[in-house]
Structure 1
């Protein structure tokens, strides 16, 4: 079995795009639960907001922003492939999209955004 194509950076970009989409979909029930607590009453929402001050939750929130940025960058890369066709600089597109995703996460972590 030839695994060389799987070592290509575009395959890694494909995997990151799919995995980030899956993890974002798994996050949605928690997001809806948080929104439901806002509807249920002020005390319940305040309790939830206090819980979000936990450093572990803050780290997970930063990870979520990186997942969103990675999924967006991967989606834009796929759209570029659809509309522009295959380019010789695919590795550069992968590197740029990964860098942008990490930059967005770092900016969020530093509370710049």
Structure 2
């Protein structure tokens, strides 16, 4: 059974913003580990960077860009709702934020593949 507040489109925006933030927070330690390997173990870092040429890794990177775009545009949406005058366009702003996220990540995937 779906709770009534969870069927609201803005709840989906709330949920995506929280999940994308959590996923990005989980990704960052691995990113910093790879950056430290570039300095301390360049051969290992080169092998890992060659691994990123695989299609599945490129698609995963596209997913990561999508999460980053969703989190960014979701944050912009929240700032707009917080600081701009209230209007009935909240669903439109939310839909535009998600559409921009798909556009940014889709452009990245098409360019990377």
TM-score of the superposition, structure 2-length normalised? 0.91
User: Which deviates more from structure 2 when the two are superposed, residues 51-60 or residues 65-74?
Assistant: 51-60
Q: Distance in 1 between matches of 2:51 and 2:29?
A: 17
- The alignment covers a number of residue pairs equal to 112
Q: Which residue of 1 aligns with 2:72?
A: 72
> Shift of residue 85 of structure 1?
4.2
Q: Which residue is equivalent to 1:18? A: 18
2-11 vs 84-93, which moves further? 2-11
Where in structure 1 are there 5+ consecutive unaligned residues?
none
Q: TM-score, normalised by structure 1?
A: 0.91
Contact 1:16 1:70 in 2 (8 A): yes
- Residue number in structure 2 paired with 1:61: 61
Equivalent residue number for residue 49 of structure 2: 49
Structure 2 residue runs of 5 or longer lacking an equivalent are none
CA deviations 1:32-71 (Å, max 9, x no partner) are 1110110123312211111111222111100000000000
Deviates more, 1:45-54 or 1:24-33: 45-54
Q: Over aligned residues, Cα RMSD in angstroms?
A: 1.8
Runs of 4+ in structure 1 off by over 3 angstroms are none
Q: CA deviation at 1:82?
A: 0.9
